[in-house]
């Protein structure tokens, strides 16, 4: 049973995307009771200080994300050093550069980080290949060591993720340069077509086997747009035909009972597009499934 304190860290960033609505995800999820939902699973849940991108202090969008990444990485690393398990609540997905750099830095003295990346996109652009120049399309490339120093070389080293220690699940909207980079690096990408063909459960299990094989800890970064917009319409960049919520929930239950599952990140929730709060409900169910302590809550003796 997982008895670590779960620390929620708001990553208040929308500057990485063209539509900045994801910046307000954390306060919206807070208002919709994400802490209560997680506590009800039996976890002890605390809030860390939110980390907020400060565009007015930056010369451009990438600069803002770089400064933000550094502060988010430090907050995540400190949470781990304090013996707590971080759940980072994005924010657009540019948060991943900071989140997983902090985790990789924490693990570095003992070994490598593994990561499952659920997403409709590949997030594998660099400033050289991106037409939009939106940093939320760059974090996976950055963690693999490709991109600007500020996103890819936090703590002074590149390659927070080795290519064989990461698996992308659910990709269905990407550009040739991203697919070429991941293919050149030999990163395993399970496209949505493969997920539909082989089932999410089979794909996730295979991905988990791969990211735990050569690593000392692993995590999950969950871009809500990896899900089908029927279940999660309120995301930064929805793409049709994704992973169904009902298929994901039972599979994610295997995460937190694994003592090597170090951290989780939820990204791209856009409360401004979440009419009726359906996507917030899906987000709550997903984090509860992945982070529940592993045994039913014991009823208190009268």
- Which residues contact Mn ion by CB under 5 A? 93, 119, 121, 123, 223
Q: Please, what is the minimum distance in Å from the beta carbon of residue 142 to Mn ion?
A: 12
Nearer CB in complex with Mn ion: 124/292: 124
Structure tokens at 124: 């594998």
- Residue 118's beta-bridge partner residues? 169, 222
Q: Please, what is the minimum distance in Å from the beta carbon of residue 121 to Mn ion?
A: 5
Nearer CB in complex with Mn ion: 43/268: 268
Nearer CB in complex with Mn ion: 223/274: 223
Alpha-carbon dihedral of residues 265, 206, 232, 289, nearest 10 degrees? -60
Nearer CB in complex with Mn ion: 8/97: 97
Structure tokens at 150: 């500020």
Helices (H) and strands (E) in the chain, counts: 11, 9
Q: Please, what is the minimum distance in Å from the beta carbon of residue 93 to Mn ion?
A: 3
- Residue 10's beta-bridge partner residues? 89
The beta-strand segments (E) located in the chain are: 6-12, 45-47, 51-52, 85-90, 113-118, 166-171, 188-191, 217-223, 261-267
Rounded to whole angstroms, how far apart are CA atoms 224 and 274? 12
Nearer CB in complex with Mn ion: 93/208: 93
Question: Active-site residues: which are they?
Answer: 93, 119, 121, 123, 136, 223, 225, 268
Give just the sign of the alpha carbon dihedral 23, 28, 34, 35. positive
CA distances from residue 272 to 54, 87, 109, 231, 294 in whole angstroms, order as listed: 20, 22, 41, 16, 33
Q: Please, what is the minimum distance in Å from the beta carbon of residue 47 to Mn ion?
A: 24
Q: Which residue has the tokens 């759940």?
A: 87
Q: Please, what is the minimum distance in Å from the beta carbon of residue 1 to Mn ion?
A: 31
């Amino acid at each position: 049973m997982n008895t670590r304190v779960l620390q929620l860290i708001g990553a208040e960033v929308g500057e990485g995307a063209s539509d900045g609505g994801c910046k307000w995800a954390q306060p919206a999820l807070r208002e919709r009771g994400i802490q209560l939902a997680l506590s009800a699973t039996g976890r002890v849940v605390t809030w860390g200080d939110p980390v907020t991108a400060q565009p007015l202090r930056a010369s451009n969008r990438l600069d803002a994300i770089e400064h933000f990444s550094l502060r988010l990485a430090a907050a995540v690393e400190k949470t781990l050093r304090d013996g707590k398990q971080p759940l980072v609540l994005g924010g657009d997905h540019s948060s991943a550069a900071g989140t997983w750099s902090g985790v990789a830095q924490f693990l570095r003295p003992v070994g490598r980080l593994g990561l499952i990346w659920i997403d409709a996109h590949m997030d594998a652009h660099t400033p050289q290949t991106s037409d939009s120049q939106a940093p939320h399309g760059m974090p996976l490339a950055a963690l693999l060591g490709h991109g600007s120093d500020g996103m890819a070389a936090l703590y002074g080293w590149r390659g927070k993720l080795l290519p064989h220690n990461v698996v992308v699940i659910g990709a269905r909207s990407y550009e040739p340069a991203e697919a070429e980079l991941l293919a050149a690096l030999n990163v395993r990408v399970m496209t949505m077509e493969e997920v539909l063909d082989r089932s999410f459960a089979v794909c996730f299990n295979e991905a988990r086997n791969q990211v735990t094989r050569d690593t000392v800890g692993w995590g999950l970064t969950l871009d809500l747009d990896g899900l089908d917009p029927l279940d999660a319409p309120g995301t930064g960049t929805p793409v049709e035909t994704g992973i169904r919520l009902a298929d994901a929930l039972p599979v994610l239950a295997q995460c937190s009972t694994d003592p090597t599952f170090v951290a989780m990140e939820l990204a791209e929730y856009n409360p401004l597009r979440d009419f009726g709060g359906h996507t917030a409900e899906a987000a709550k169910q997903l984090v509860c499934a992945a982070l529940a302590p592993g045994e039913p809550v014991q009823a208190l003796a009268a």
